[in-house]
Amino acid sequence: MLKTQGWFNYADDLNLELLQAADEGKDIDGFEEKVKSIQSMESGDPKKELQAAAILDEIAALPIKSDYKYIEPSEISEIKSARPDWGKNIKLDVSGLSDEKLFDKVYGAWLGRCTGCLLGQPIECWYRDRIVGLLKETGNYPIRYYISSDITDELRKKYEVIDEAKVYGGSLKNWINNVIYMPEDDDTNYTIIGLKTLEQYGPGFTPDDMAESWLANLPILHVCTAERVAYKNLVNKTYPPNSATFRNIYREWIGAQIRADLFGYSTPGNPSIGAEMAWRDASISHVKNGIYGEMFVAAMLSAAAVVNDVEKIIEYGLSQIPEKSRLTEAIRKVLTWKKVGLDWEQAIDKIHQIYNEKVQYDWCHTITNAIIVCMALIYGELDFERSIGIAVVSAFDTDCNGATVGSIVGMIIGAKALPQKWIRPLNDQVKSGVDGFGLEKISDMARRTLDVAKKVSEFNQSK
């Protein structure tokens, strides 16, 4: 029997919907008992899913409380109105970016994304104590290299380290001793499908174009949470933006944030355009802070092509999302931690005091992981190894955060400055599950990205 991991069973995650709705400012009093009643029903009872779907619709119709302090639209025009005034039509000076230098940066971003993802991938879903424990007992804390399963039997048993696993069709878990290239992962599939969509539909692509690209090029079991719900909605002829909102419990989770990179890569020095392109992608499957996460990362990457100061890069990211959003508020707090004397481990402690890694909603939410990305960038101080290492030992969504941090630092410093010990194991290759792609050269992906970036620039100059 095909295992859907519960993502088509509304009843299983109704408790997560209560957390989501409460965060959005809805009054959910009385719904907890209804949810408990539904979840206590027999799994084979056909009424269970019908009642779960009905309660999702009921919660969706609830108004936002009048005293809710955040302003969090999902439409692009309203997002633009709610962002800081200085964030409108930002264009940074790219005159110093030769084709050769830009290629080095974009190639560095691709390599950095693959590297950070590969570092965090085999320990995805591990809690912090387990991650740190294994690292310390293998002499790899703070992180100095990829994580290996070639360890003593005692440690394998203690930390439940296994090699056998089905990951996107592979048969082995992606410990460094099991790979000879960057294995397939959703964190890289989305970057590749972003490239393919821009090549096929052009810089003026619409959310409908991106949705069509998903259906044509990406198998449904290669997407997760909000993306899988949106995919199901699309198949059932519920199109954007309704594909993001219809019975989608995961609508503010991290999925859109990990899809941002290509839109940043293809808009160097133009964070406003990068963020708008990211919105077109994110609106298929996400709302509010789920959308902002993708816009934020895309804008940071656009800025990172020409700016070296990570705090300024974070500010450019914030310039493209609503000032009075939960995401902006959380990131603004992170920006103060180093200034008041917290070291990187204390900063991680603070994140774990605010969010509970054992609650799936916190573990996979955009905001939780976005602040880890920012914290790792700030404390990493443009040291590639230190930056991705901090991102991964923070736990929560390890491969997603390692990938995003690696991508941004890689864009800033360029491929030539990346440590060979980190990029050599990739052998300049990435495996993709996107139709038309297979085992691809990462350098080729970077060259094709530059071709797209030129078309994006020409398109926007002609408008």
Predicted pLDDT of residue 221: 86
Whether the bond into 240 is cis, omega within 30 of 0: no
Mean pLDDT computed over 135-145: 98
Mean pLDDT of the region 7-16: 85
How is residue 104 written in tokens? Answer: 């080095």
For the stretch 415-427, pLDDT in tens is: 999 999 999 999 9
Write out the two tokens for 70.
């955040």
Separation of alpha carbons 415 and 111, rounded Å: 7
Q: Is the pLDDT of residue 58 over 50?
A: yes
pLDDT at 1 over 60: no
Q: Residue 349, Cβ neighbours under 10 Å: how many? A: 13
Long-range contacts made by residues 36-41, C-beta under 8 angstroms, separation at least 24? 38/11, 38/14, 39/11, 39/12, 39/14, 39/15, 41/11
Amino acid 334: pLDDT: 98
The residue-averaged pLDDT of 159-188 equals: 91
391, 372 Cβ separation under 8 angstroms? yes
User: Which residue is listed with tokens 């993802």?
Assistant: 117
The region of weakest confidence among 113-117, 220-224, 392-396 is 220-224
Question: CA triplet 357, 363, 368: central angle to 5 degrees?
Answer: 100
Which secondary-structure segment (H or E) carries 300?
Answer: helix 288-304
Q: Which of 429, 440, 409, 441 is nearest to 108 (CA)?
A: 409
CB 24 within 8 A of CB 74: no
Q: Give the pLDDT band of residue 46 (cuts 50, 70, 90).
A: confident
pLDDT of residue 4: 42
Per-residue exposure over 245-255, b if at least 16 CB sit within 10 Å of its own CB, e if not? bbbbbbbbbbb
For residue 144, the tally of other CB atoms under 10 A from its CB is 12
The pLDDT tens digits for 418-451 are: 999 999 999 999 999 999 999 999 999 999 999 9
> What is the reported pLDDT for 179?
95
Q: What is the model's pLDDT at position 350?
A: 98
Task: Tell me the one-letter amino acid at 166.
Answer: K
What pLDDT does residue 421 have? 98
* 460 and 132 Cβ atoms separated by less than 8 Å: no
Exposure on the CB side of residue 234, measured as CA atoms within 13 A: 24
For residue 36, pLDDT over 60 is answered with: yes
**Amino acid at residue number 309:** D
Nearest to 262 by CA among 187, 337, 371, 159: 187
pLDDT per residue as tens digits for the range 387-412:
999 999 999 999 999 999 999 999 99
Angle (nearest 5°) at CA 384 between 309 and 320: 40
Residue 3 has pLDDT above 50, yes or no: no
Per-residue pLDDT tens over the stretch 378-387:
999 999 999 9
pLDDT at 169: 73
* The pLDDT of residue 269: 97
What is the architecture, at CATH level 2, of domain 76-122+182-461?
A: Orthogonal Bundle (1.10)
The structure tokens 């789920």 sit at: 290
**69 pLDDT more than 90:** yes
**Contact present, 298 and 275 (Cβ < 8 Å):** yes
Cα–Cα distance measured from residue 305 to residue 320, given in angstroms and rounded to the nearest whole number: 17
Query: Distances from the Cα of 330 to the Cαs of 351, 367, 369, in angstroms?
Result: 10, 7, 11
**In a 3-state reduction of DSSP, which class is residue 164?**
strand
Rounded Cα distance between 149 and 274, Å, is: 39
Measured distance CA(57)–CA(37) in Å, rounded: 17
Gap between the Cα atoms of 226 and 234, Å rounded: 12
Sorted by sequence, the CB contacts under 8 Å of residue 397 that are 6+ apart come out as 120, 124, 254, 363, 364, 368, 369
Strand runs labelled E in 149-281:
164-167, 170-172
For the ranges 105-114, 173-182, 219-228, the lowest mean pLDDT is seen at: 219-228
State the CB neighbour count (10 A cutoff) for residue 122.
Answer: 25
Contacts of 443 (CB under 8 A, 6+ apart): 107, 428
Residue 6: pLDDT above 50? no
Residue 167 has pLDDT above 90, yes or no: no
Mean pLDDT of the chain: 95
What's the N-to-C CA distance of the chain in angstroms? 52
Does the pLDDT value for residue 70 go beyond 50? Answer: yes
Neighbours of 410 (CB within 10 A): 32
Percent of the chain that is helix, strand, coil (3-state, to 5):
60, 5, 35
Query: pLDDT tens digits for 346-369?
Result: 999 999 999 999 999 999 999 999
CA dihedral sign, ordered 318, 248, 395, 389: negative
In the predicted structure, residue 228 carries a pLDDT above the cut 70: yes
DSSP string, 104-126: HHHHHHHHHHHHHHHHHGGGTT-
Residue-range domain boundaries for the chain: 10-60, 76-122+182-461
Q: Compute CA distances 218 → 1, 187, 194, 196, 432, whole Å.
A: 22, 13, 11, 11, 10
Residue 243: predicted pLDDT: 98
Q: What is the mean pLDDT of the segment spanning 49-71?
A: 96
CB 362 within 8 A of CB 372: no
The pTM (predicted TM-score) of the whole model is 0.96
According to the model, what pLDDT value does residue 8 have?
65
The span from the CA of 278 to the CA of 205, in Å, is 11
